[in-house]
């Protein structure tokens, strides 16, 4: 699969212009569809980028830290509403829950004490914890959205305490290895791009240090390539169940907090940023470390994503990536899947129209599920759990029970959805 030539030219032109306007030494961007890197656009010569050149991920590392936490939750090792104190005792902020820390709803201040951690030699976990006191909680949890790098340093410490393994080793074993992300590493591994700050007046380059951030590594340490970040985007669109259950990833994409309550165009889930663009919602994360910026933007319903890197601090890469993802979806919407006839035996006696208080409910059969349409708008999907018992799996009735009520002859006379009884005729009382 590739992009249409006209779409590819449009992407290439916008990337080339963005590199000029943003004065970045190099810029590389990839388009991902259905699990495959289908287009690579590159601009700049310092160095000339390609799909295997490493750049720094920055805070995109947080999405991987969050994935490790969710793996442990699914394994029963922790609960999201556990206080931090239960797994990482003695922090002075132990009342904060893992959910609050993952979703930047804890009220915890943004940075650890000391020098700017992104550009300094990293401290170990003991030193990070020594710098904590109760004043680091700026306000009560869920008062407002407040981004916290410190929160992810603490989550990384929790992972190491709970598993007995270093955070980087956990990622290699449980995420990067299974997903084939062999060029995603803790430290820069050649070939890699050097990172710069571009002087605002005379366009000279100042190379930035490639720091080991120590205990803050789970917030932003990692290095990767366009090829590997494309693999990560594909995973976020359609997860490998051997790494994380699909339902768990969907849970990570649900908002914990809205980041701009005046316009509702952004929010934060469990380790993932959420962006609204018109009627679409994208998930992903931005990243920056001294000398580098990165962006990961995924539209899960169409399994389409844009991933990108630049090696100059301050380049507006997230805005570019979101705009180009919207361009791809507008110009090349995914091809509709063909209709297929039913092969499994349908629950025919339940299909058709039912009524409750003058409101129509239409039940149809699709791929072994009952699909419910209320007033032709609110759509829920039900999966069989046993004889005459179905559980909602999506839509407004997600989690609710649909029970089939039968008369003395065994005929399906009504369906009960969460105590709302629908009958075949609008004249029958519920």
Model pLDDT, residue 429? 78
Identify the burial level of 154 via C-beta atoms within 10 angstroms of its C-beta, where 0-12 means exposed, 13-18 middle and 19 or more buried.
buried
Is 95 within 8 Å of 233 (Cβ atoms)? no
Which H or E element spans position 391? strand 389-394
**Angle, CA of 259, 331 and 17, to the nearest 5°:** 75
pLDDT (tens place) for every residue of the chain, 430 residues total? 789 999 999 999 999 999 999 999 999 999 999 999 999 999 999 999 999 999 999 999 999 999 999 999 999 999 999 999 999 998 999 999 999 999 999 999 998 887 776 777 778 898 889 888 889 999 999 999 999 999 999 999 999 999 999 999 999 999 999 999 999 999 999 999 999 999 999 999 999 999 999 999 999 999 999 999 999 999 999 999 999 999 999 999 999 999 999 999 999 999 999 999 999 999 999 999 999 999 999 999 999 999 999 999 989 999 999 999 999 999 999 888 898 887 777 788 999 999 999 999 999 998 889 999 998 778 999 999 999 999 999 999 999 999 999 999 999 999 999 999 999 999 987 7
User: By C-alpha distance, which of 261, 65, 272 is closest to 171?
Assistant: 65
| Predicted confidence (pLDDT) per residue in 103-123, tens digit | 999 999 998 887 776 777 778
Is 19 within 8 Å of 27 (Cβ atoms)? yes
Nearby residues of 169 by Cβ (< 8 Å), 6 or more positions away: none
User: By C-alpha distance, which of 321, 215, 309, 219 is closest to 271?
Assistant: 219
DSSP 319-367: HHHHHHHHHHHHHSPPPPPPP----SPP-GGG-EEEEETTEEEEEEEET
The backbone torsions φ and ψ at residue 280, rounded to the nearest 5 degrees and listed phi first, read -100, 150
Give the strands of the sheet with 26-33, arranged side by side: 36-44, 26-33, 304-310, 292-299, 280-289, 273-277, 266-268, 257-258
**Residues 360, 414: Cα–Cα separation, whole Å:** 13
**Residues 91, 157: Cα–Cα separation, whole Å:** 11
Model pLDDT, residue 170? 98
Identify the burial level of 337 via C-beta atoms within 10 angstroms of its C-beta, where 0-12 means exposed, 13-18 middle and 19 or more buried.
exposed
| Predicted confidence (pLDDT) per residue in 258-310, tens digit | 999 999 999 999 999 999 999 999 999 999 999 999 999 999 999 999 999 99
Model pLDDT, residue 1? 77
Task: Give the 3-state secondary structure of residue 59.
Answer: helix
Model pLDDT, residue 377? 78
The backbone torsions φ and ψ at residue 13, rounded to the nearest 5 degrees and listed phi first, read -65, -45
Nearby residues of 297 by Cβ (< 8 Å), 6 or more positions away: 275, 282, 283, 284, 305, 306, 307, 318, 321, 322, 325
| Predicted confidence (pLDDT) per residue in 211-257, tens digit | 999 999 999 999 999 999 999 999 999 999 999 999 999 999 999 99
**Angle, CA of 247, 238 and 170, to the nearest 5°:** 75
Q: Is the pTM of this model over 0.85?
A: yes
Identify the burial level of 395 via C-beta atoms within 10 angstroms of its C-beta, where 0-12 means exposed, 13-18 middle and 19 or more buried.
middle
Model pLDDT, residue 117? 67
Q: Are strands 304-310 and 292-299 parallel, antiparallel or unpaired?
A: antiparallel
Cα separation of the two ends of the chain? 53
The DSSP output letter for 393 is E
DSSP 368-390: TEEEEEETTTEEEEEEEEETTEE
């Amino acid at each position: 699969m590739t992009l249409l030539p006209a779409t590819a030219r449009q992407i290439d032109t916008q990337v080339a212009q963005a590199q000029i306007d943003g004065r970045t030494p190099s810029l590389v961007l990839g388009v991902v569809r259905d699990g495959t890197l289908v287009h690579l656009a590159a601009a700049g010569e310092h160095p000339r980028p390609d799909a295997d050149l490493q750049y720094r991920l920055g805070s995109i590392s947080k999405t991987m830290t969050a994935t490790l936490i969710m793996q442990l939750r699914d394994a029963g090792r922790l609960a999201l509403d556990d206080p931090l104190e239960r797994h990482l005792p003695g922090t002075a902020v132990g009342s904060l829950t893992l959910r609050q820390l993952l979703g930047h709803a804890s009220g915890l201040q943004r940075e650890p004490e000391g020098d700017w951690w992104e550009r300094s030699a990293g401290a170990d976990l003991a030193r990070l914890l020594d710098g904590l006191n109760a004043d680091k909680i700026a306000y009560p949890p869920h008062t407002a959205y407040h981004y916290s790098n410190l929160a992810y340093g603490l989550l990384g410490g929790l992972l190491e305490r709970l598993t007995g393994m270093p955070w980087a080793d956990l990622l290699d074993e449980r995420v990067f290895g299974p997903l084939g992300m062999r060029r995603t590493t803790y430290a820069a591994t050649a070939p890699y791009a050097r990172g710069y700050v571009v002087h605002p007046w005379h366009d000279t380059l100042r190379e930035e240090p490639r720091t080991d951030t120590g205990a803050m590594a789970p917030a932003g340490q990692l290095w990767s390539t366009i090829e590997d970040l494309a693999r990560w985007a594909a995973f976020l669109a359609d997860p490998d169940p051997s790494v994380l259950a699909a339902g768990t990833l969907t849970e990570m994409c649900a908002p914990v907090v809205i980041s701009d309550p005046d316009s509702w165009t952004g929010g934060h889930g469990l380790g993932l940023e959420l962006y609204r663009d018109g009627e679409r919602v994208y998930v992903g994360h931005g990243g920056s470390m001294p000398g580098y910026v990165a962006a990961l933007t995924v539209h899960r319903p169409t399994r389409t994503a844009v991933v990108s890197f630049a090696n100059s601090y301050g380049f507006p890469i997230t805005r570019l990536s979101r705009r180009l993802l919207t361009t791809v979806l507008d110009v090349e919407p995914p091809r509709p899947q063909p209709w297929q006839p039913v092969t499994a035996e349908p629950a025919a006696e339940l299909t058709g129209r039912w009524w409750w208080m003058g409101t129509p409910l239409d039940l149809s059969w699709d791929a072994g599920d009952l699909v419910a349409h209320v007033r032709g708008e609110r759509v829920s999907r039900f999966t069989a759990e046993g004889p005459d018992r179905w559980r909602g799996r999506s839509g407004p009735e997600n989690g609710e029970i649909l029970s089939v009520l039968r008369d003395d002859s065994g005929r399906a006379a009504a369906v009960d959805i969460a105590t709302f009884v629908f009958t075949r005729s609008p004249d029958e009382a519920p």
